[in-house]
Amino acid sequence: MFPKLKTKDAGMRLRIEREIREEFVEVCHAEGKTAADVLRDYMRDYIERSRAAQRDLFAPATASAR
């Protein structure tokens, strides 16, 4: 649903504990990924799960659900 964007034109600043950031970056690098890529993937997944939950919430009832 979300194509890989060629231009990243917005930023986000997070304030977190230094230890969490350092461990997160370490784990990401151990997996051959950047922290930014992992966060973008998580954000895409979160959006999709949220949208799916909304679709399910308002989906018409099926015969088996009655």
User: With b meaning 16 or more CB within 10 Å and e meaning fewer, what string describes 51-62?
Assistant: eeeeeeeeeeee
Nearest in space to 42 (alpha carbons), one of 58, 59, 27: 27
The pLDDT tens digits of the residues spanning 28-64 come to: 999 999 999 999 999 999 999 999 988 887 777 775 6
Residue 33, token pair as written in the block: 């990924």
Mean predicted confidence (pLDDT) in 2-25: 88
pTM above 0.95, yes or no: no
CA–CA separation, 29 vs 42, rounded Å? 16
